[in-house]
Amino acid sequence: MLIVLVKIIEAFVLPPGLFVSAPFVLGLLWMKSSKKKALLLLFFSLLSYLLTTSVGTFLFVRPLEKSFQPQTFENCDAVIVLGGGIFKTPDGYELRPHAFKRLVEAIQIAKKYDAVLVVSGGMLPGTFGVPEASIMAELARKFGLPSEKILLDVQSRNTFENARNVTEIVRRSNLKRPILVTSAVHMKRAVVSFKMFNLEVQPHPVDYLCDYGPLSWIDFVPTRESLEANMLGVHEIVGLLWYKLRR
C-alpha cells in the first residue's frame, strides 16, 4: 500500500502531473483574491487532468479505437501500411514505435496471403533525410519480403495524401482487395480518407493505446503514456472535424 501512495504522490509532483496539481493549488489559493483567475486555473487543471489520465483516454481514444474491430479476411491481394514517423539515430534512420508496430503486422499479413505490401510515407515539411516509405521498405526486405512484392509511395505528407497516392498505386497495379493497416486510433480517419477517393479498404487496426483491462488506481493518475495517447486522440478528432468542414 505504501508503494501505491508513493507512486500517486510522485505522479502529481512530476510532469505531466505537475500541470494538474500546480494550477489546482494556485486556483484554490487565489479563489478569494481573484475569482476569475482562480476559475481559469482550475479549468486548466481539469483539462490537464483529462489529457494526462486514462479518464481522458476513455473519452478521446477509446471511441476511435472501437470504430473497427480486428477480423480475419477471406483473401487479399494488397496490404497497405501507413507511416507513423521516423527519427535519426547515430546508426541511421529508424521507425518510431507506432510505425514499427504497423509495419510488422502488415508484413505478417502480406506473407500470409502472398500479397503485395504498399508502404506509404514521405518527408514532412521542414524535415530532411529519406522518405519514411523507403525505411519501411528496407525493413520489410530484412524481414524476408522480396523487393518485387513491395510498392512505395514516397510523396505523402499526411493521411489525405496517403489515401490519394496509394489509391493511384492500387488502381494502376490492378489490385482489388486491399487491407489497410494503421494504428487503431488513426483507422477511422484513414478509412474516411480512402472513401474520399472511392477506394474500399478492409481495415485491420493495430497498435492499441487504450488499456482494456479492469480499472485500477493507475487509471486515475497522470502518466506520460496517457498524455501521448490523448494527444493522438485529440489530433484524430480535430482531423475528422476538418474533413467535415472541407466537404
Number of folded domains in the chain? Answer: 2
- If asked whether residues 51 and 75 sit together in one domain, one would say no
**108/2: higher pLDDT:** 108
State how far the Cα of 14 lies from the Cα of 206, in Å rounded to an integer. 31
- If asked whether residues 135 and 21 sit together in one domain, one would say no
- If asked whether residues 27 and 116 sit together in one domain, one would say no
- If asked whether residues 81 and 19 sit together in one domain, one would say no
- If asked whether residues 200 and 80 sit together in one domain, one would say yes
Can you give the residue range of the structural domain that contains 47?
Answer: 1-55
- If asked whether residues 50 and 76 sit together in one domain, one would say no
- If asked whether residues 99 and 175 sit together in one domain, one would say yes
- Could you read off the pLDDT of 70-121 as tens digits, one per residue? 888 888 999 999 999 998 889 888 999 999 999 999 999 999 999 999 999 9
- If asked whether residues 88 and 50 sit together in one domain, one would say no
- Could you read off the pLDDT of 171-199 as tens digits, one per residue? 999 999 999 999 999 999 999 999 999 99
Q: Output the pTM of the full model.
A: 0.92
- If asked whether residues 156 and 77 sit together in one domain, one would say yes
- Here the CATH number for the domain that contains residue 197 is 3.40.50.620
The percent of residues in the chain predicted with pLDDT above 70, rounded, is 98
